[in-house]
Structure 1
Amino acid sequence: MKLTIVAATGGIGRQLLAQSLAAGHEVTAVVRNPSRLDVDVKAVAVDLSDVNGQSEALRSAVQGADAVLSGLGARTKTDYGVATRGTRALIEAMDAVGTKRLVVVSAAPIGTVASPARPNPPRYDEGDGFVMRHVLNPMVKRVLRDHYADLATMEDEVRASRLDWTIIRPPQLTDKPLTGAYRTAYGQNLRGGTKISRADVADLMLRSLTMPESGHAVMALAY
């Protein structure tokens, strides 16, 4: 397949890049700084924290792609909003050139985070157990409030698009190696699922491209 990987030098993006190349896919990497790439691939320099004037570069990056996979998200407090702004620009570029398949990464708690399109989300995720509902999620949401608000609004943009989309919601990310031995669920989190490696997130993102049931779906994964 011909794939475009957005934020290809991020934690998940690097895994997507490595696994895509190992599988023999043709890859275009969308990155802020191409010099940070440690593999020889076609690179398009786009700073998605400031999308003004970059629509042409984005269009060229997604032109002819069978799918676009995005690991876009804030790395620091100054990046808050990048997921929404960057994904909106990405969707516009895909619409302009007729590319349809999009897979993005969000986060496990987002189903219960309010957003402009979902001002009254469920109080609890059906897949969460007692400790997750009443201890861990409230604590994490306080600490990462702005980051999660950005991801929730990003999900609004994806859902409202005319694309064939999949939203992946992982729990806490680790740098452990690829296992392929994880659980998945549609539309809710996984009971007791608190961690997943970035490598396994990338694995599911790529697998979803051959899973018809993943279209217009939210997928959770965890060990």
Structure 2
Amino acid sequence: MTVLVVGASGATGRQLVAQLLLQQHSVKVVVRSPHKLPESWKNKDNLHIITASILDLTDSELQNLVSNCHAVASCLGHNLTFKGMYGQPRKLVTDATKRLCNAIKASRLQKPTKFVLMNTTGNSNRDIHEPISLAQKCVIVLLRLLLPPHVDNGKAADYLRTQIGQNNRAVEWVTVRPDGLINEDQVSAYEIFPSPTRSAIFNAGKVSRINVAHFMASLINDKNLWSTWKGQMPVIYSSSQEN
């Protein structure tokens, strides 16, 4: 299976690529700064590194990039610096998601391509009822006003939910919502839920980046797991925490 990963130089993106390589997939990565990648990757026969900014690629280049891919995974995000949060491109995740999906549709592949988007528990799945407190609603409104990356993540998820939808012939999708991300060296037990089981603002849980990567890779690799969560926005928590 051939998988394209964008955002591969980020903390979770690197973990996802590592998981996909362990599963013996052929992996393409698009990165602006290849020097940020592990040195060992450069000797991998099943890894193709494309040095570019995903939004700088032309439509035809994007179509060529996805034309032989069975899955596309996005771990794109904004750097936690002033420039990263308030500079351009403000709609990095949304625009990349739209353009990649358009490229997939233009390729007219025989089977739907899987699209896995890493997102956040701060965004609700408005296809189902996910009640949150008034206090959390107020904080989320402030986040949308003050933090452009939060708006970007929400719009990317909404695009898949409303524009790609549940019955698209070209693209099938899952939006993975981790809670508070932490670093760990090994995959550990984790749990998946259709919706948050705790407040993302006032009682956030934790999940390791490697666990998020393991789940995303498993979605791509496991047909039954994909069937379970296709068209949904599952939430992931590490199991070793008190609810």
Is 1:82 the counterpart of 2:92? The answer is: yes
Q: What's the offset of the Cα at 1:54? A: 2.3
Q: Kindly tell me the number of residue pairs found equivalent between the two proteins.
A: 208
Q: What's the offset of the Cα at 1:138? A: 2.1
Among candidates 44, 49, 58, match of residue 43 of structure 1: 49
Among candidates 164, 178, 183, match of residue 170 of structure 1: 178
Residue-by-residue CA offset, 1:118-152 (whole Å, 9 max, x unaligned): 7xx99x944x6x7xx74698279538632111111
Separation (CA, whole Å) in 2 of partners of 1:29 and 1:176:
23
Q: What's the offset of the Cα at 1:60? A: 2.5
Separation (CA, whole Å) in 2 of partners of 1:189 and 1:203:
19
Is 1:103 the counterpart of 2:116? The answer is: yes
In structure 1, the partner of 2:143 is 142
Is 1:183 the counterpart of 2:191? The answer is: yes
% identical equivalent positions: 24
Q: State the TM-score, normalized to the length of structure 2.
A: 0.75
In structure 1, the partner of 2:205 is 194
Residue-by-residue CA offset, 1:15-42 (whole Å, 9 max, x unaligned): 0111111221111112123343321221
Two-structure CA RMSD over aligned residues (Å): 2.7
CA contact (8 A) 1:194 1:222 kept: yes
Pairing 1:55-70 to 2, within 5 Å after superposition:
55-70=59-74
Among candidates 75, 84, 91, match of residue 101 of structure 2: 91
CA contact (8 A) 2:15 2:210 kept: yes
The alpha-carbon distance between structure 1 residues 139 and 156, as it changes in their structure 2 partners (threshold 3 A), is closer
Unpaired segments ≥5 residues, structure 1: 113-117
In structure 2, the partner of 1:214 is 229
Which amino acid is 2:182 matched to? T
Which amino acid is 1:22 matched to? L
Among candidates 153, 156, 159, match of residue 158 of structure 2: 156
Unpaired segments ≥5 residues, structure 2: 239-243
In structure 2, the partner of 1:115 is none
